[in-house]
A and B are shown apart, each in its own frame.
Chain A
């Protein structure tokens, strides 16, 4: 019996006069891969940032693994320990090597012993295919390599859920594949993932469910293969026609 690990209910986020999120509701069960697509400014990034408490929301409810997500409460730190996030621009720490990037949080946040953190960092970097690059600085790595380091860094905290905010949008087409492969591997390993992306093939191959978001609401959701072939809502059709 797979449990619901993430639940978003009627999420509203008002930013000044604008409604960035206008009543978003969905659930994610354990080991599920949910892909979110849609035009820019539709609220997809904001939604992710609300889930791990990076942004506060105006009303609604987010529950993660029995924890209530409230960016203004100290409990939000517990949420952040369980959620890993991958950013469009990698956001690696430029003054640290790949291995130091990965071992920093387990060492200083979780307080694990240095040797263990080092070992785990090397294992994770190996897992994403970067064992040769442990001593390189982000400035010496390609975009695809940096993003893979970012994934290893997030994995080091043993998250229950991984959020991906357009992980390949800033990459050269040649390096997109290497990152998507790592993500596919994560998915088949049973990681619960919420992925905002324009990579519709990824959605088709790996996604369990796809959500189409526009103007702060979920317009349509369903099985990736079905929705991408036969969108029912006209807005979805319009978007997919422009993209495919």
Chain B
């Protein structure tokens, strides 16, 4: 256990790297997810089909395979060479984006057509209705789901070590290779748990906050 002490700082930095890449991917995927989620409810059929294709593809392929593809195959296919950091962020974003779009779509569709009818009868156009009537109600479904996606991202970030990205898990493995002790791996596990569990609690708090107001 004492052999771990000099490495604690490094481990914590690794945790921060995991957090950073997850948060960044979450942010981007939220933007993409919102746009795609809205597109998924579009009246234009080709748009809806396009979104569905993207979502089903990403959801049906393991994250590990997506990571490999982004890092090893993209240079061959598109001539684009990505650093492990960029490949990792891109892949995590694309991955979470698919789930996020489903969360947004579910949120929008959870708001019944009666709300649209009422807004329309008050002469509120699409933009106004989305902004003031639908989005606030959709968030009640979308935000809790988004918290879950964030937790998945944090765990998924550990896979990025496979393409050479050094985050928490890889850091722990590196320390283990030096100290020949499994303690760093256990410490990494604890750090993962702390991050994910805290997020889960935040998610619950958000869910409860959205219930208030006699909805």
Contacts and interface: CB of A to CB of B under 8 A. Distances in A.
Interface in A110-140: 136-140
Interface in A151-167: 153-154, 157
B214 A108 contact: no
B122 A95 contact: no
B180 interface: no
Classify chain B's interface size.
10 to 19
Interface residues of A, number: 27
A49 B42 CA distance: 22
Interface stretch (B61-69, B72-80, B132-140, B156-164): B132-140
A93 B125 contact: no
Nearest to B120: A54
Interface in B109-144: 114-115, 117-118, 120-125, 128, 132-133, 136-137
B215 A87 contact: no
A95 B117 contact: no
A85 interface: yes
B213 interface: yes
B122 A153 contact: yes
Given A93-B115, A104-B132, A157 B213 contact: no
Given A80-B120, A80-B121, A91 B215 contact: no
Contacts, number: 65
Interface in A83-101: 83-85, 87, 89, 91-95
A230 B43 CA distance: 49
Interface in A38-59: 52, 54
Contacts of A80: 120-123
B122 A92 contact: no
A91 B137 contact: no
Given A54-B121, A137-B215, A139-B215, 10 more contacts: A52-B121, A80-B120, A80-B123, A91-B117, A93-B132, A93-B133, A95-B215, A105-B123, A105-B124, A109-B124
12 contacts: A54-B121, A77-B123, A80-B121, A84-B121, A87-B114, A87-B121, A93-B115, A95-B136, A104-B133, A108-B132, A137-B214, A138-B214
Interface of B: 114-115, 117-118, 120-125, 128, 132-133, 136-137, 213-215
Interface of A: 52, 54, 77, 80-81, 83-85, 87, 89, 91-95, 104-105, 108-109, 136-140, 153-154, 157
